[in-house]
Amino acid sequence: MTVSSSPRMLSLWLPRFATDRIRRLRETTPVPHEGLPLVVAGKRGNADVLIAINEAAEQLGLFAGMALAQARAMHPALDVVPEDARADGELLESIADWCLRYTPLVACDAPDGLLLDISGCAHLYGGERELVADLGRRLTQAGFAYRVAIAGTIGAAWAAAHDGQPDTYANGEERDLLAPLPLDALRLPPPVVASLGRVGLKTIGDIIDMPRSPLTARFGAGLLRQLDRALGREHEPLTPRLPVAPYVAEERFYEPIAREEDVLGTVQKLAARLSMTLERHGDGARRIELTLFRTDGALRRIAAGTARPLRDAADIRALFAERLVTIADELDPGFGFDMARLSVLIAEPAPAEQIGLGSAEDAGELVRLVDRLSARLGAQRVRRAVAQDSHIPELASVTLPAQMTVKDDGWAAYNRHRSAVELAPRPLRLLARPEPIEAVAEVPDGPPLRFKWRRALHDIVAAEGPERIEGAWWQEENIETSPAGNRARDYFRVEDRSGHRFWLFRAGLYRDLVPGTAPPSWFVHGMFG
């Protein structure tokens, strides 16, 4: 079977979308006045007008845009429901997600339609008519009225779905399709359509062969632009609501799957397919998403990140095994999944020598551990320290997600600095902020003899120091970031009678003490193992 590379656009219009949504809700929560003609009303300007009507209301002669007062005067027994644009929008996005099974290029055509770029996709369903039949069957089961048209341009497909004969039109048939349709099928602003009507131009065929300059001068450039787009003379881009993944593999099942091991087996199978494509392009996956399509239309998206470009199928399976453990209850396969898609959302160059070969093996194991922990606990909870250009201990490092890419983590420069100046040992555990203590010490520069911290008194039996660290004199003193301020610090390593070892410092020097300023104060900053 050959796959056409010509653009093919599908326009889906749900003509009773709002009333269908309400009817679906009432299937579970019936209302007393069920059975009356249903209309949805909303404010437009200063008037209440009908936004949507069901089939029964349409048979009474009501139509969208009619004033609500007029509709009530004609038929007092109406079931009037206020417009809920938010609920309509959320449901339309859910249907757009559900349509991802046909193509990843899906755009919302608010308030009641969707646009799908199905170029090169329809053959997966046996052809365009089979795809439309599958789409229509699922929409009918879900309780939606629909109109679907396929053509070579967005404009032609939209016009056929809304104002023409919903069908499948070959590329090149746009002119014959559009010519008999009214001008508003070009998605023109109503004032432009009204202006064209006043000079006797009613259909698209009336303007197709007219001189372009007078039309542009009188009705604006937008008229011919919409016409050219519908006819395929100008490209009209489709803006999908979700980013398009650079690498995608998918699998459809004859029988729905529900067991976790089947899902993981599918992941490995799809990952193996992606691996070949990634290797051919010299890429690896940094962020991967598994999309599972339930038979009832619900969607499950599971994403996982990696610390390095990855393309090994077993590693990708292990990532999702961890993710499935954390979302076991949320997965809820219902009656099973009938389709799965594995997408590489972010890919980065990954030369073959960086993937599990030679001396990189140990690093590779660490990266796998980070990936698996991040998948189970969350990427923000697995972190690593990155050195900063500061000699203030609490500012000398920050923690970042371990999977985040950092060109230079600063530790090479830090180690060079340590070897050059021979810094005193630092405690393994450093408090996030120095905590003030009450200390008794020999002045002016002696170590503390005893101190009280967190209501416990510690008598010091051994002390070493001081190690002086000057404050950041080029900064304003900021108590919010450091309770010790920017004063010079004298650090001491001390041991109390119980054998506990602390890293204490005195902020401020007695030699700098002048009347009116705060005296030096003591803090505990860390504990040695």
Tens of pLDDT, residues 333-363: 888 898 999 999 988 887 765 444 445 555 6
pLDDT at 487 over 80: no
pLDDT mean over 435-454 = 83
Query: From its phi and psi, is residue 506 left (phi > 0), alpha (psi between -120 and 50) or beta?
Result: beta
**Confidence at residue 88, expressed as pLDDT on a 0 to 100 scale:** 94
pLDDT at 275 over 70: yes
Q: Phi first, then psi: what are they for 386, rounded to 5°?
A: -125, 125
Position of tokens 């000079």?
199
- How far is residue 427's CA from residue 449's CA, in Å, rounded to a whole number? 20
Question: Which residues are 213's β-sheet partners?
Answer: none
pLDDT at 166 over 90: yes
Give just the sign of the alpha carbon dihedral 198, 200, 206, 209. negative
CB 53 within 8 A of CB 145: no
Q: Of the candidates 475, 465, 469, which has an alpha carbon nearest to the alpha carbon of residue 501?
A: 465
Question: Which residues are 457's β-sheet partners?
Answer: 452
- How far is residue 360's CA from residue 518's CA, in Å, rounded to a whole number? 55
- Please provide the size of the chain in residues: 529
* pLDDT tens for each residue of 279-294: 888 888 888 999 999 8
Structure tokens at 217: 């001068």
Question: Strand 79-82 relative to strand 38-44: parallel, antiparallel, unpaired?
Answer: parallel
* pLDDT tens for each residue of 393-408: 777 778 888 877 777 7
pLDDT mean over 246-270 = 89
Q: Report the share of the chain in percent with pLDDT over 90.
A: 35
* pTM value > 0.75: no
**Confidence at residue 15, expressed as pLDDT on a 0 to 100 scale:** 93
- How far is residue 121's CA from residue 20's CA, in Å, rounded to a whole number? 29
Is residue 244 exposed (0-12), middle (13-18) or buried (19+ Cβ within 10 Å)? exposed
pLDDT at 3 over 80: no
Long-range contacts of 95-101 (CB under 8 A, 24+ apart): 95/14, 95/144, 96/241, 97/299, 98/138, 98/293, 98/297, 98/298, 98/299, 99/12, 99/135, 100/242, 100/291, 100/293, 100/299, 100/341, 101/293, 101/339
**Confidence at residue 5, expressed as pLDDT on a 0 to 100 scale:** 62
Cα-trace Rg, the chain: 34
CB atoms within 10 A of CB 430: 16
- How far is residue 434's CA from residue 484's CA, in Å, rounded to a whole number? 7
Q: Of the candidates 172, 143, 146, 155, which has an alpha carbon nearest to the alpha carbon of residue 12?
A: 146
Structure tokens at 463: 């002390």
* pLDDT tens for each residue of 492-521: 888 988 888 999 888 887 766 666 677 788
Better-scored residue on pLDDT, 328 or 386: 386
CB atoms within 10 A of CB 243: 10
Question: Strand 38-44 relative to strand 147-151: parallel, antiparallel, unpaired?
Answer: unpaired
Q: 14-28, 108-122, 165-179, 368-382: lowest mean pLDDT where?
A: 368-382
Q: Of the candidates 126, 176, 139, which has an alpha carbon nearest to the alpha carbon of residue 3?
A: 126
CB 79 within 8 A of CB 36: yes
CB 486 within 8 A of CB 471: yes
* pLDDT tens for each residue of 55-75: 999 999 999 889 999 999 998
Encode 69-126 in three state secondary structure.
HHHHHHCCCCEEEECCHHHHHHHHHHHHHHHHHCCCCEEEECCCEEEEECCCCHHHHC
Better-scored residue on pLDDT, 263 or 370: 263
Better-scored residue on pLDDT, 147 or 255: 147
- How far is residue 313's CA from residue 249's CA, in Å, rounded to a whole number? 13
**Confidence at residue 476, expressed as pLDDT on a 0 to 100 scale:** 54
**Confidence at residue 177, expressed as pLDDT on a 0 to 100 scale:** 93
DSSP 428: S
pLDDT band at 372 (very low <50, low <70, confident <90, very high): confident
pLDDT band at 381 (very low <50, low <70, confident <90, very high): confident
- How far is residue 296's CA from residue 336's CA, in Å, rounded to a whole number? 9
Long-range contacts of 234-242 (CB under 8 A, 24+ apart): 236/153, 236/154, 236/155, 238/9, 238/105, 238/107, 238/115, 238/117, 238/154, 239/107, 240/104, 240/105, 240/106, 240/107, 240/117, 241/93, 241/96, 241/106, 241/107, 241/108, 242/100, 242/104, 242/106
**Confidence at residue 362, expressed as pLDDT on a 0 to 100 scale:** 59
517: three-class secondary structure by DSSP: coil
